[in-house]
Structure 1
Amino acid sequence: MTTTKTEADRQAITLTGAFTNYFGHEPDGLWRAPGRVNLMGEHTDYNEGLVLPFAIDRSTTVAVSARDDRTVRLVSSFGDAEAVEFNLDTFAPEDAHGWSAYPAGVAWELEQAGVPVPGFELYVSSDVPVGAGLSSSAALECAVALALSELSGARLERTQLADIGRRAENNVVGAPTGIMDQYASMLGTRNSAVYLDCRDGKSVPVSLGLEESGLVCLVIDTKVSHAHANGGYAARRASCARGAHQMGVGALRDLDSTDLPRAERTLDEETFRRVRHIITENERVAGTVDLLRTHGPHAIGDLLDASHRSMRDDFEISCPELNLAADTARANGALGARMTGGGFGGSAIALVSTDDAARVKDAVLTGFAARGLQTPDIFAVLPADGAQKL
């Protein structure tokens, strides 16, 4: 009998062929890591708070082969991505640029951690949209980190590899992000979200049960690109640090709603709103987990909506396109909707009954067209397993 190749099989064959055509030999292996949707907990990670992301069924895959010297050669399937070559012995973070900063940064941070990284050749392919708030950067970092850990013989723990990816993004790419994205990509499990305490790094899976409940998570990629290395993200992080200092705590995680009256008296108006978002968002994460465990995903819509309002009004990281996406989805039957990711563009998510998904999608497309906006990309995602060797 014949077996039908899955889409993943076809992608692996295509990527292996592309690597072989470019480098003249087959790769040592293929490694993949997923993007993520953050269900709840935005900008709480670098405040030592709580987050609830899940890995999605869209991923970045790298074909990699070790070399017997210290040369690194990087190629991407994206037509406008420049091929890059450098030597590990002479590379410095300031040499990194463009997309190659992510794999180069991972190699650099592994070496800083004492892992003897060999020279390597890498070909990358991805179906995680870039700049959409679905953490295409963490997917690339985690796929490369897992590959190099195995090829070097280090075989680091997944939490260690997640931290390598985060440090690459912070120290080489220059984006002051927290740990959430890499943890989601590394630790994700099918049908579950990752409930992560960013203070102690402890995580537990929380069942989402979307399919069993007749629900789907729609991603609405507004096509408004964002970049975490720009000023808006850094400014929010600085504002949070300032708020924590003025409130006399080590991190905003140490505050809760009972501290809001004192915060309003102590802080300037803008810093207070930034702090209020973090405090209430941490409480929404915990509340979402509690509802998922006791009542299931149908119960969390109001918390999704409240989170979006907080990001729009208090943290001010939304944009007109994200607001339109969330409002339109909600008005057409979504149980709840919110922007997801670092903000200033990217994607919104909507929790929708399977029966209502087509209507919500059509309404959003119509709403964007009526305002002369770029056509968004709208697709469903499911919770998937984390990084793995294929």
Structure 2
Amino acid sequence: MIVYDDEDLLSAIDKIEASRFQTVFVTDRELQLKGLITNGDVRRFLLNGGQTDEAVTACMNKSFRSVGMNASREEMLKLLDLGFTVIPKVAPDGRLMDLITPEYELASPEAPVLTRARAPVRISFGGGGSDLTYYFVDHPGAVLSTTVALYAHATLIPRADRNIHIYSEDLDTHTHYPSLLDLLASPRQDLLSAVVSVIKPIYGFDLYVRSDFPVGSGLGGSSAVATAVVAAFNEMRLDRWTTYEVAELAFQAERVCFGVAGGWQDQYASAFGGFNLIELGDKKNLVHAIRLEAATVNELEECLILCDSRIKHDSGTLHKKQRETYSNENKAEQLTEMVALCREMHRHLLRGELMDFGRCLDKAWQLKRGLSADISNPELAHIYESAMQAGALGGKLLGAGAGGFFLFFVQPQYRQQLAKRLKDLNCKLSIFKFENEGVVSWRTKIL
């Protein structure tokens, strides 16, 4: 579709006839675009007395539309939609570089992608302990919880080779395996490699993980990390795992493969998000989303204080001790009472009876402390009693116990003095908001 400016019109006519667009572009020998000639231009030129042996420049049309090399897809589509069947793409120096037609490949070439995921942590209001398998295989368990806007973040970047690099910003670690087989052959030294061993990706990758919360918070942080990593790999799949599958793969990696003792509620809460009643049984576990009035959610958010006791603990070790206590002593009756209290709290929440809900938090804490002597200690007990004296209506230590975050319910007239008292006790208050979404994942181009 190019004719040089030193050729005659007959050469242009031959090329016009061969082109389905009935158009040729006139350039010099360096491809500098001079103009174009259409079938109609030729007819008009010959009718006005022109000859076929004259130079093409005598017939060419210098008035034409073109686009630059960086023209957007939108710009080109608009010209095509206006009826331009072939549009020259011109370099800044005037050279003809390409021709845009209706069949032109406007889609961007496929680029390498990375995936990201984030999973929220949870606040458990009641029923904790009944989500342990050794309890609910014989007695139905139930947990009432919600998620808050503190997240575990995972970024997954596929590699062209088989190497696996795992980076943890929280632990300041970098683990490398030459291949998946090397990872599978090594002992499970960390949670992240345990997740990879469960998923078994067939490609090499770089995995980056970070969190918005401290290690040992009692907010189900390690489960949020596992859930986020599973979701990042899930985003790479054509056949996506369901939310239940994501949660249960995270459970498998953390509890079964890595061997951290604990319950089932954390992974379900992080995967599904929002307010949920999680029912656990020997056959099926079910997550029931709770629909609350906006005023109830807003008021509850205002009435709760979340604070870090700054006391470190190991939830896995605590759960192992609690299991020993459960085996040696009959704790099933206490756990059954906790489940009944959980369902009572569920009813209060549905009806917006927040004062009753707040009082139930205290009942839940008293029951939880009775499960094991390791759940509380004099320092934690002092923080709790001081908070109650400062105006808290109820509260509880989150997670397995022995440290981490406290949650307190307080009426507005006592909030300031409670906050001051907690700060005086070296607790760090945490700003939080409820999160309605569970784990989310997405993919983006590698820049």
TM class by shorter-chain length? 0.7 to 0.9
The alpha-carbon deviation at position 29 of structure 1 amounts to: 2.7
Aligned mate of 1:234, from 304, 320, 335 = 320
Map of 1:83 onto structure 2? 174
1:214/1:124 CA distance change after superposition, 3 Å: closer
Asked if the contact 2:349–2:357 (Cα under 8 Å) also holds between the matched residues in 1, the reply is yes
Asked if the contact 2:322–2:371 (Cα under 8 Å) also holds between the matched residues in 1, the reply is no
For the pair 1:303 / 2:303, whether they are aligned, the reply is no
* C-alpha RMSD over aligned residues: 2.3
Map of 1:221 onto structure 2? 308
The alpha-carbon deviation at position 77 of structure 1 amounts to: 2.4
Asked if the contact 2:396–2:408 (Cα under 8 Å) also holds between the matched residues in 1, the reply is yes
* Mapping for residues 363-374 of structure 1, pairs under 5 Å: 363-366=421-424, 368=425
Map of 1:262 onto structure 2? none
Give SS of 2:266's match.
helix
Give SS of 2:423's match.
helix
Give SS of 1:282's match.
helix
Q: Distance in 2 between matches of 1:70 and 1:239?
A: 46
Q: Deviations over 1:106-131 (max 9, x none)?
A: 121123xxxx4532211222112210
**Counterpart of 1:378 in structure 2: which amino acid?**
L
Q: Distance in 1 between matches of 2:357 and 2:191?
A: 35
Map of 1:288 onto structure 2? 345
Map of 1:206 onto structure 2? 290
Asked if the contact 2:301–2:433 (Cα under 8 Å) also holds between the matched residues in 1, the reply is no
Map of 2:258 onto structure 1? 173
Q: Distance in 2 between matches of 1:205 and 1:336?
A: 24
1:281/1:213 CA distance change after superposition, 3 Å: closer
Give me the TM-score of the superposition, normalised by structure 1. 0.75
The alpha-carbon deviation at position 345 of structure 1 amounts to: 1.5
Q: Deviations over 1:14-72 (max 9, x none)?
A: xxxxxxxxxxx996132100111111112110122111121111001112112234322
Map of 2:164 onto structure 1? 72
Question: Bigger shift: 204-213 or 148-157?
Answer: 204-213
Q: Distance in 1 between matches of 2:154 and 2:301?
A: 34
Aligned mate of 1:388, from 440, 443, 446 = 440
Q: Distance in 2 between matches of 1:202 and 1:329?
A: 35
Aligned mate of 2:415, from 357, 365, 368 = 357
1:351/1:26 CA distance change after superposition, 3 Å: farther
The alpha-carbon deviation at position 149 of structure 1 amounts to: 1.3
Q: Deviations over 1:295-333 (max 9, x none)?
A: 432321221111111222343312233323322222222
**Counterpart of 2:181 in structure 1: which amino acid?**
D
Q: Deviations over 1:113-165 (max 9, x none)?
A: xxx45322112221122101011101110110001112133410111110111
Map of 2:276 onto structure 1? 194
Asked if the contact 1:216–1:382 (Cα under 8 Å) also holds between the matched residues in 2, the reply is no
Asked if the contact 1:214–1:353 (Cα under 8 Å) also holds between the matched residues in 2, the reply is no
Q: Deviations over 1:75-130 (max 9, x none)?
A: 1223x522111221122385232xxx22221121123xxxx453221122211221
Q: Distance in 2 between matches of 1:77 and 1:90?
A: 23
Q: Deviations over 1:163-196 (max 9, x none)?
A: 111111113322122210000000112xxx2100
**Relative contact order higher in (CA < 8 Å, ≥ 6 apart):** 1
Map of 2:194 onto structure 1? 105
* Mapping for residues 115-264 of structure 1, pairs under 5 Å: 116-189=201-274, 193-199=275-281, 200-207=284-291, 209-212=296-299, 215-230=302-317, 232-240=318-326, 242=327
Asked if the contact 1:221–1:378 (Cα under 8 Å) also holds between the matched residues in 2, the reply is yes
Question: How many residues in Structure 1 have an aligned counterpart in Structure 2?
Answer: 318
Q: Distance in 2 between matches of 1:206 and 1:221?
A: 27
Q: Distance in 2 between matches of 1:347 and 1:303?
A: 18
Q: Distance in 1 between matches of 2:324 and 2:186?
A: 23
Map of 2:20 onto structure 1? none
Q: Distance in 1 between matches of 2:288 and 2:156?
A: 31
1:344/1:149 CA distance change after superposition, 3 Å: same
1:378/1:73 CA distance change after superposition, 3 Å: same
Map of 1:379 onto structure 2? 430
Greater than 4 Å deviation, 4+ residue runs = none
Give me the TM-score of the superposition, normalised by structure 2. 0.66
Aligned mate of 1:323, from 378, 381, 400 = 381
1:380/1:271 CA distance change after superposition, 3 Å: farther
Q: Distance in 1 between matches of 2:432 and 2:411?
A: 13
Q: Deviations over 1:210-229 (max 9, x none)?
A: 31457332122112112233
Asked if the contact 2:362–2:396 (Cα under 8 Å) also holds between the matched residues in 1, the reply is yes
Q: Deviations over 1:203-255 (max 9, x none)?
A: 1122462314573321221121122332x311212443x3xxxxxxxxxxxxx
Q: Distance in 1 between matches of 2:221 and 2:240?
A: 23
1:72/1:153 CA distance change after superposition, 3 Å: farther
Asked if the contact 2:301–2:434 (Cα under 8 Å) also holds between the matched residues in 1, the reply is no
**Structure label with greater radius of gyration:** 2
